[in-house]
């Protein structure tokens, strides 16, 4: 792909439309509880300013469904952005219209304007060309630094590139694209994929794609029990997708044909219900009775996974190993985090639940790269070309 990256572009005297992803969590008082997505875009904004440009920054927040809603205003982001940049950030009470046009037109080099929520307009998610043209009119250069929404063909991500002569990718986009592509296409081997989470159904295309690339696949989480039942084991009340049992068998057969080793849990932490403070026990997966459900990987599985992780050259991880939100069933996930953190392998990690577990573990900084995305991360692992990336390919 012929993508132009920000560090090869000239911004002197130019107004630059930066599509960021400031979809950050807020508490009831509208205080930002996790600003990692804002922090990750700061290098891109600063670079534009330092190179003599002015920045018109745009994002969505939440799901206002095409209507103005104060609880989804980007005003809290403006305050945090000012703190992180160490300079004033102007705010437009709309992302198009008179106020946005006037403030964008008046921007001087080194100044920043934050637009109000893009998704206050239904046209944003419809990839409406008329709406995109109005956004494009605010600046002469377009930079996409919002990897987490680049799997969506939205107006500020895809259509806008048709109306701006010069388009490129910001530092966060560059880091996301190059890290994932290196892990998938030019890894230091062995390449190990650790796949967890609840269901197989949301990861079928990813499994199909990565089986062609990895050396070993470790499968944990609820999805492991579909694979175990496909081997005709009793899994009790564990989460199983009955309609995907044949698919699981086919996946394992394809792995054998390609010489890919699949490692499934040999033991698990089981209980009668998914609750804290309930009786639970660690048992072999061959000892699960009809009244029990597996809710975490057990210590033997942790050890087996650890041996593979220790020898890995590159690790791709998506999905927790159990119901990590409940302490009794979180130990497997945190053990795997420790193993990856202590590994010499390049580690590329992504997914909402995986990210949450990492933050809770305090080992976030021990990973080589943690994606800011969920869906976009998954689609790259599936081998898809994201609309937001394709739009930059000139």
Angle (deg, nearest 10), helices 331-341 and 352-361? 80
**Mean pLDDT over the full length of the chain:** 96
pLDDT value at position 351?
87
Interval 287-302 mean pLDDT: 97
Q: Which residues contact 26 (CB under 8 A, 6 or more apart)?
A: 32, 33, 76
Q: What percent of the chain has a predicted confidence (pLDDT) above 90?
A: 92
> Hey, what are 121's tokens?
């307009």
pLDDT value at position 204?
87
> Hey, what are 101's tokens?
């046009």
Q: Whole-angstrom Cα distance, residue 125 to residue 123?
A: 6
pLDDT of 31 above 70: yes
How crowded is residue 331: how many other Cβ atoms within 10 Å of its Cβ? 19
Torsion angle in degrees (nearest 10) through CA of 226, 294, 193, 344: -170
Per-residue confidence at 345, pLDDT binned at 50, 70, 90? very high
Interval 180-203 mean pLDDT: 93
Distance of CA 73 to the CA centre of its chain: 23
- pTM as predicted: 0.90
Which active-site residues does the annotation give?
37, 199, 352, 375
Q: Whole-angstrom Cα distance, residue 215 to residue 248?
A: 18
**Per residue in 115-126, pLDDT tens?**
999 999 999 999
pLDDT of 72 above 70: yes
Q: Whole-angstrom Cα distance, residue 383 to residue 146?
A: 19
Per-residue confidence at 202, pLDDT binned at 50, 70, 90? confident
Strands (E), 285-388: 293-297, 314-318, 346-349, 369-370
Per-residue confidence at 93, pLDDT binned at 50, 70, 90? very high
**CATH H-level superfamily of 6-174:** Phosphoglycerate kinase, N-terminal domain (3.40.50.1260)
pLDDT value at position 374?
86
Q: Whole-angstrom Cα distance, residue 323 to residue 97?
A: 47
What is the H or E stretch that residue 353 is in? helix 352-361
Return the DSSP state at 244. G
Per-residue confidence at 373, pLDDT binned at 50, 70, 90? confident
| CB burial of residue 65 (10 Å; 0-12, 13-18, 19+) | exposed
Per-residue confidence at 1, pLDDT binned at 50, 70, 90? low
- Angle (CA) 187 42 144, round 5°: 65
Interval 356-378 mean pLDDT: 91
Question: Are 143 and 10 within 8 A, CB to CB?
Answer: no
Return the DSSP state at 11. -
What is the H or E stretch that residue 57 is in? strand 54-58
pLDDT value at position 148?
94
Q: What is the CATH number of domain 187-381?
A: 3.40.50.1260
| 211 DSSP β-pair partners | none
Interval 309-330 mean pLDDT: 96
pLDDT value at position 27?
92
pLDDT of 67 above 90: yes
CA dist list (Å): 136 to 18, 132, 143, 254 = 11, 6, 11, 47
For the sheet containing 216-219, what is the strand order? 261-263, 216-219, 191-195, 314-318, 346-349, 369-370
pLDDT value at position 313?
98
Q: Which residues contact 195 (CB under 8 A, 6 or more apart)?
A: 203, 206, 207, 217, 218, 219, 220, 221, 223, 317, 318, 319
pLDDT value at position 322?
96
User: 55-69, 215-229, 376-390: lowest mean pLDDT where?
Assistant: 376-390
Question: Are 227 and 265 within 8 A, CB to CB?
Answer: no
**Where do the structural domains in the chain lie, given as residue ranges?**
6-174, 187-381
pLDDT of 291 above 70: yes
**Per residue in 140-191, pLDDT tens?**
999 999 999 999 999 999 999 999 999 999 999 999 999 999 999 999 999 9
| CB burial of residue 84 (10 Å; 0-12, 13-18, 19+) | middle
pLDDT value at position 97?
92
Interval 15-34 mean pLDDT: 95
Distance of CA 25 to the CA centre of its chain: 15
Question: Are 203 and 195 within 8 A, CB to CB?
Answer: yes
CA dist list (Å): 384 to 348, 368, 378 = 18, 23, 9
pLDDT value at position 234?
97
């Amino acid at each position: 792909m012929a993508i132009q990256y920000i560090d090869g572009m000239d911004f002197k005297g130019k107004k630059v439309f930066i599509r960021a992803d400031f979809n950050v969590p807020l508490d009831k008082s509208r205080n930002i509880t996790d600003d990692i997505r804002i922090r990750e875009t700061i290098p891109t904004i600063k670079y534009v300013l330092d190179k003599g440009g002015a920045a018109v920054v745009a994002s969505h927040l939440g799901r206002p469904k095409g209507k103005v809603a104060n609880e989804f205003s980007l005003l809290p982001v403006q305050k945090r952005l000012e703190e992180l940049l160490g300079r004033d950030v102007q705010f437009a009470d709309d992302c198009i219209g008179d106020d946005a046009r006037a403030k964008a037109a008046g921007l001087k080099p080194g100044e920043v304007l934050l637009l109000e929520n893009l998704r206050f307009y239904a046209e944003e998610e419809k990839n409406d060309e008329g709406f995109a043209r109005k956004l494009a009119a605010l600046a002469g250069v377009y930079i996409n630094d919002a990897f987490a929404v680049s799997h969506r063909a939205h107006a500020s991500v895809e259509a806008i590139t048709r109306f701006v002569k010069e388009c490129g990718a910001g530092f966060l986009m560059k880091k996301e694209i190059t890290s994932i592509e290196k892990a998938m296409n030019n890894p230091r081997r062995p390449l190990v994929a650790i796949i967890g989470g609840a269901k197989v159904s949301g990861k079928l295309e990813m499994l199909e794609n990565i089986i062609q690339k990895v050396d070993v696949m470790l499968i944990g989480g609820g999805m492991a029990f579909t694979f175990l039942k496909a081997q005709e084991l009793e899994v009790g009340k564990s989460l199983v997708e009955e309609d995907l049992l044949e698919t699981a068998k086919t996946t394992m057969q394809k792995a054998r044909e390609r010489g890919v080793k699949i490692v499934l849990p040999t033991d698990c932490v089981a209980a009668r219900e998914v609750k804290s403070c309930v009786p639970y026990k660690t048992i072999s997966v061959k000892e699960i009775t009809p009244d029990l459900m597996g809710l975490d990987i057990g210590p033997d599985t942790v050890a087996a996974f650890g041996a593979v992780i220790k020898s890995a050259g590159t690790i791709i991880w998506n999905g927790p190993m159990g119901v990590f939100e409940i302490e009794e069933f979180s130990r497997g996930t945190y053990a795997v985090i420790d193993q990856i953190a202590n590994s010499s392998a390049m580690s590329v990690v992504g997914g909402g639940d995986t990210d949450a577990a990492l933050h809770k573990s305090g080992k976030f900084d021990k990973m080589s790269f943690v994606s800011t995305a969920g869906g976009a991360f998954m689609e790259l692992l599936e081998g898809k070309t994201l609309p937001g990336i394709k739009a930059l390919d000139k």
